[in-house]
A and B are shown apart, each in its own frame.
Chain A
Amino acid sequence: DAGVTQSPTHLIKTRGQHVTLRCSPISGHKSVSWYQQVLGQGPQFIFQYYEKEERGRGNFPDRFSARQFPNYSSELNVNALLLGDSALYLCASSPQGFGSEAFFGQGTRLTVV
């Protein structure tokens, strides 16, 4: 079975640009969450979507937005990129909205220059 897939794997953007990251969850999983991980730290929660509805939002500015599609795949959008947005962006899928383990993709390494 395919695990969580994210695209692209690496991305270089210039300050002020916009970026879209994509995630396909494990088949049958209805929840997708996004996390940001900077070097040397644990992942930080950005968003959770369950059954196409936002279930949670972390402490990130409005430049960050996300959505979930009818096939449960998801996009994370970041506008007006800052140097500090450089990080590994992780997508996790779960079968339920809460109370079950989350399985992560390999991540998208975003570098803002």
Chain B
Amino acid sequence: EDQVTQSPEALRLQEGESSSLNCSYTVSGLRGLFWYRQDPGKGPEFLFTLYSAGEEKEKERLKATLTKKESFLHITAPKPEDSATYLCAVQGGGSSNTGKLIFGQGTTLQVKP
């Protein structure tokens, strides 16, 4: 069964204190791994797509990496405005032609000034 587990569930950082969020996954035929940012009461905001092991993507203070079993979201010198819940999702293949996303439970990041 396809599954996504994120850790830690919650993370508190001081402004400027770099860290990483982990996303471990089990999926039949990975079509893509997606990172989203979600602010309270709002819909997820797309950040990155990773398709194959070794791939890396960067956007401002965020960098996403992918291996065959997990993905990391590295946050460099975070600012208070980076505070949000970060969601990881996978889309599997197999014999299915569906675009179904399987999400982890998210990591809630709080960055204190």
Q: A96 vs B98: C-alpha distance in the bound complex, in angstroms?
A: 10
Complex A-B: 27 CB contacts under 8 Å? A33-B99, A33-B100, A40-B105, A41-B106, A42-B89, A42-B103, A42-B104, A44-B103, A45-B101, A55-B97, A55-B98, A55-B99, A56-B98, A58-B100, A90-B43, A98-B91, A99-B31, A99-B91, A101-B32, A101-B49, A102-B34, A102-B99, A103-B46, A104-B43, A104-B44, A104-B45, A104-B46
Q: A94 vs B31: C-alpha distance in the bound complex, in angstroms?
A: 14
B residues sitting closer than 8 Å to A (CB atoms) are 4, 31-32, 34, 36, 41-46, 49, 87, 89, 91, 93, 96-106
The answer to whether B99 touches A43 (Cβ under 8 A) is no
In the bound complex, residues from chain A placing their C-beta under 8 Å from that of B36 are 104
Q: A97 vs B101: C-alpha distance in the bound complex, in angstroms?
A: 12
In the bound complex, residues from chain A placing their C-beta under 8 Å from that of B105 are 40-42
Q: A32 vs B44: C-alpha distance in the bound complex, in angstroms?
A: 15
Q: Which of B93, B101, B102, B104 contacts A102 (CB under 8 A)? A: B101
Most chain B beta carbons < 10 A, residue from A43, A55, A106, A109? A43
Most chain B beta carbons < 10 A, residue from A41, A45, A88, A90? A45
Does A31 touch B at the CB level, under 8 Å? yes
The answer to whether B43 touches A105 (Cβ under 8 A) is yes
> For chain A residues 36-65, which have a beta carbon within 8 Å of chain B?
40-45, 48, 50, 55-56, 58
Please tell me the number of chain A residues within 8 Å of chain B, measured between CB atoms: 33
In the bound complex, residues from chain B placing their C-beta under 8 Å from that of A97 are 97-99
Most chain B beta carbons < 10 A, residue from A41, A55, A102, A106? A102
In the bound complex, residues from chain B placing their C-beta under 8 Å from that of A105 are 43
In the bound complex, residues from chain B placing their C-beta under 8 Å from that of A99 are 31-32, 91, 99
Does A25 touch B at the CB level, under 8 Å? no
Q: Which of A4, A44, A96, A104 contacts B99 (CB under 8 A)? A: A96
